[in-house]
C-alpha cells in the first residue's frame, strides 16, 4: 500500500448540455454526451483512510454517519475500485462539503470525483485524468466531468473504455458566473439515479438523444467563441428538452415548482431587455442562472427580489479535482 490516508478535493459542476438516461445503467454509459462548467468556490473534500481491520467501507458525511443508501453507494463504488486494483482492503471515508445539501448544486459529482482521485492514489490505480474520469463515472455519471476544471465535455462512448470526459477550455477562458436561485431545500422525491432509469419510458427521449449532437456542437462553439447569445439559446433549449422528457416519463417527474417557472419567465424578460442571462435546471426546483461576471452582482440583486427566492449562491468556473498533500 503506497499511502495510508489520502485527502482529495473536487468541485461540483453545472451541466450546460444535460446527461439524462443511460444506454447501460450498470456501467453508467449515457444515452448522449454532455457539457458542463465546473463550479469554483463550492467543493467537497474526502479523506480516505485504508483500514485493514474493517469488514466493510465506512462513510461519514459532514461529521455524521451517512445513511444506509449513501453507504451502499460508496461500497458499490469501492467494490469497483477493489476489482480494478486487485487490492482487497476496506476504507474509512470522511466527506465534507462547504455548500448546503438540497441547494440545487449536485453534491454527488464533487464527491465521486474526489473519491475517484483519493481511491486511485490509495489503491495504486492509474491517475491519468481520463482514467480518473472513467472511475468517477462508475460512482456518479456527472462526476466524470468534475475531474477537470473549466468547461468539460463527457464523450458518451459505448462502453467503460470509451465513456469519459475531456476538457474543452480552462476556467480562465470565459468569465461566466452561475447564480443558483434556491427556492427549496427539500430532499427531492425521485433521485436522478431513478430518473435516468425512467428516461426511456418517455417517447420524447429518443428525439432528445438523436438531436443531442447538434446541441453539443452549438454549445462547444459558443464556449470556444465566448458567444453568450448562442450559449443562452442552446442551454435553455436543452434544459427544456430534458424537463419535457422528465414530465412525459411513466410515472412522470415534475421537478419544477411555481417559483421555478416565475424565475424562468423573469430571465427571458431580462435577456430580451439586454442583460446576458439564461437559465438551466437540473433534477430539482432550483434554477441556475448563467451570466457574465460584470453583471453577476446586479443579477444576484434582482434574483433576491423575486418572490420565493431564499438564497442566491454564486460560482465562477473552478478547478479540477486535486490532492491535498499531508
Ligand atoms: C440532471 O450524475 O447526478 O444533473 O449517476 O445518479 O449520480 P447519478 O446521476 P447524476 O445525474 C445528473 C443529472 C443532471 C444533468 C447533468 O448533470 O448532466
Q: What is the CATH number of the domain that holds 52?
A: 3.30.230.10
pLDDT at 2: 43
Give the position, in ligand 1's atom list, of the atom nearest the Cα of 19. Answer: 18
Crossing angle for the helix pair 68-85 and 129-139, to the nearest 10 degrees: 140
Ligand 1 centroid – CA 209 distance (Å):
15
**Domain total in the chain:** 2
Gyration radius of the chain's alpha carbons:
19
Provide the residue range defining the domain that includes 136. 4-173
pLDDT at 105: 87
pLDDT at 52: 80
Ligand 1 centroid – CA 191 distance (Å):
9
Q: Tell me if 208 is assigned to some domain.
A: yes
Q: Could you please report the per-residue DSSP string of 190-202?
A: S-HHHHHHHGGGS
Do both 10 and 152 map to the same domain? yes
Q: State which of 141, 173, 205 marks the end of a domain.
A: 173
Q: Tell me if 262 is assigned to some domain.
A: yes
Do both 198 and 53 map to the same domain? no
Ligand 1 centroid – CA 234 distance (Å):
19
Do both 152 and 208 map to the same domain? no
Would you say residue 76 has pLDDT above 90?
yes
Q: State which of 173, 204, 222 marks the end of a domain.
A: 173
Do both 84 and 208 map to the same domain? no
Other beta carbons within 10 Å of 186: 10
Q: Tell me if 326 is assigned to some domain.
A: no
Do both 191 and 122 map to the same domain? no
Looking at per-residue pLDDT, the higher value among 4 and 281 belongs to 281
Do both 72 and 158 map to the same domain? yes
Q: State which of 173, 194, 215 marks the end of a domain.
A: 173
pLDDT at 326: 65
**Grid cell at residue 25:** 445503467
- Mean pLDDT (the chain) is 96
Q: Dump pLDDT digits (tens) for 287-318.
A: 999 999 999 999 999 999 999 999 999 999 99
Q: Tell me if 43 is assigned to some domain.
A: yes
pLDDT at 53: 85
Would you say residue 104 has pLDDT above 90?
no
Mean per-residue pLDDT, 81-102: 93
Do both 164 and 189 map to the same domain? no
Report d(CA 251, CA 270) in Å as an integer.
34
Do both 158 and 184 map to the same domain? no
Give the position, in ligand 1's atom list, of the atom nearest the Cα of 108. Answer: 7
Q: Do residues 111 and 140 touch, judged by C-beta distance below 8 A? A: yes
Do both 198 and 214 map to the same domain? yes
Ligand 1 centroid – CA 1 distance (Å):
33
CATH of the domain at 240: 3.30.70.890
Q: From the CB of 165, is ligand 1 less than 6 Å away?
A: no
Confidence band, pLDDT 50/70/90 cuts, at residue 186: confident
Residue closest to 180 by CA, chosen among 89, 105, 85: 105
Q: For ligand 1, pick from 15, 16, 19, 249 the residue to mutate: most ligand atoms within 8 Å of CB.
A: 19
Q: From the CB of 140, is ligand 1 less than 6 Å away?
A: yes
Amino acid at each position: 500500500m503506497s499511502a495510508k490516508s489520502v485527502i482529495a478535493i473536487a468541485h461540483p459542476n453545472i451541466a450546460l448540455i444535460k446527461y439524462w438516461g443511460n444506454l447501460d445503467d450498470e456501467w453508467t454509459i449515457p444515452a448522449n454526451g454532455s457539457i458542463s462548467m465546473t463550479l469554483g468556490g463550492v467543493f467537497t473534500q474526502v479523506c480516505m483512510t485504508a483500514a485493514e481491520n474493517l469488514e466493510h467501507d465506512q462513510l461519514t458525511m459532514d461529521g455524521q454517519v451517512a445513511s444506509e443508501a449513501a453507504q451502499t453507494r460508496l461500497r458499490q463504488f469501492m467494490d469497483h475500485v477493489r476489482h480494478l486494483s486487485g487490492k482487497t482492503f476496506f476504507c474509512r471515508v470522511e466527506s465534507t462539503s462547504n455548500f448546503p445539501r438540497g441547494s440545487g448544486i449536485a453534491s454527488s459529482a464533487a464527491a465521486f470525483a474526489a473519491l475517484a482521485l483519493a481511491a486511485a492514489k490509495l489503491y495504486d490505480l492509474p491517475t491519468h485524468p481520463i482514467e480518473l474520469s472513467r472511475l468517477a463515472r462508475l460512482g456518479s455519471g456527472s462526476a466524470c466531468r468534475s475531474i477537470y476544471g473549466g468547461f468539460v465535455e463527457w464523450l458518451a462512448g459505448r462502453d467503460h473504455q470509451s465513456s469519459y470526459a475531456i476538457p474543452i477550455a480552462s476556467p480562465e477562458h470565459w468569465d461566466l458566473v452561475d447564480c443558483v436561485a434556491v427556492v427549496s431545500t427539500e430532499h427531492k422525491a425521485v433521485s436522478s439515479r431513478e430518473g435516468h432509469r425512467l428516461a426511456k419510458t418517455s417517447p420524447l427521449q429518443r428525439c432528445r438523444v438523436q438531436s443531442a449532437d447538434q446541441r453539443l456542437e452549438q454549445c462547444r462553439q459558443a464556449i470556444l467563441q465566448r458567444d453568450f447569445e448562442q450559449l443562452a439559446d442552446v442551454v435553455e433549449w436543452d434544459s427544456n428538452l430534458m424537463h419535457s422528457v422528465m414530465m412525459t416519463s411513466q410515472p412522470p417527474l415534475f421537478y419544477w415548482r411555481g417559483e421555478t417557472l416565475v424565475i424562468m419567465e423573469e430571465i427571458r424578460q431580462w435577456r430580451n431587455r439586454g442583460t446576458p442571462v439564461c437559465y438551466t435546471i437540473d433534477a430539482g426546483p432550483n434554477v441556475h442562472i448563467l451570466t457574465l461576471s460584470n453583471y453577476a452582482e446586479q443579477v444576484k440583486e434582482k434574483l433576491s427580489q423575486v418572490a420565493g427566492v431564499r438564497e442566491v449562491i454564486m460560482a465562477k468556473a473552478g478547478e479540477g479535482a486535486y490532492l491535498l498533500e499531508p
